[in-house]
Amino acid sequence: MTIYGYARVSTAGQSLNEQKETLKNSGAEIILSEKYSGTTTVRPQFEKLVNLIEPNDTLIVTKLDRFARNTREALNLIDDLLKEKIIIKVLNLGTIDNTPMGRMIVRTLLSVAEMERDMIIERTQSGKAFARQHNPNYKEGRPRRQKDGRNTAILEFSLTHTVKSTAEAFGVSARTVQYIKAQFKG
């Protein structure tokens, strides 16, 4: 009977350290972790975990939405694990058992998590639409990072020098010089 922990964050910039520490302190002997959005079903470490875990083993996650943010996928996954007699512990919820009440609690909480995610997306899209309508200078995506006019200097230098010599002069790759030139053309 092995106790497994699973940690997941949605973006590369987020840290797994807090989840891993919490899982370790909760008794997890083996912890698998990855950085994948909850909206994707491609999670190699979770697939590895599902193949490793055996009946009467325990799976610990810090929150229910670490399984997935899609209610249907999470419910199917939890049902499959419970049928295999896997013990599921969600640290901010408790042990999920294979009873009508346990399944109802899981369904309710997953539905709330999915609704919350959908509302975040809706608010983001609404904000973008408002900005497009009311701000003529609005551009989609992140603003380009400028390093004290360095891109302009690289461009100006490249007008009278080769890409290779420009790259060497500014300590950047030739590809960066080509990228900057292409950005200023449009």
Q: Which amino acids are annotated catalytic?
A: 10
8 A C-beta contact, residue 90 and residue 101:
no
Q: Long-range pairs for 74-83 at CB < 8 Å and ≥24 separation? A: 74/106, 74/110, 75/106, 75/107, 75/110, 77/50, 78/106, 79/103, 81/50, 81/53
Cβ 87 vs Cβ 59: under 8 Å: yes
Tell me how far apart the alpha carbons of residues 85 and 125 are, in angstroms, rounded to a whole number.
42
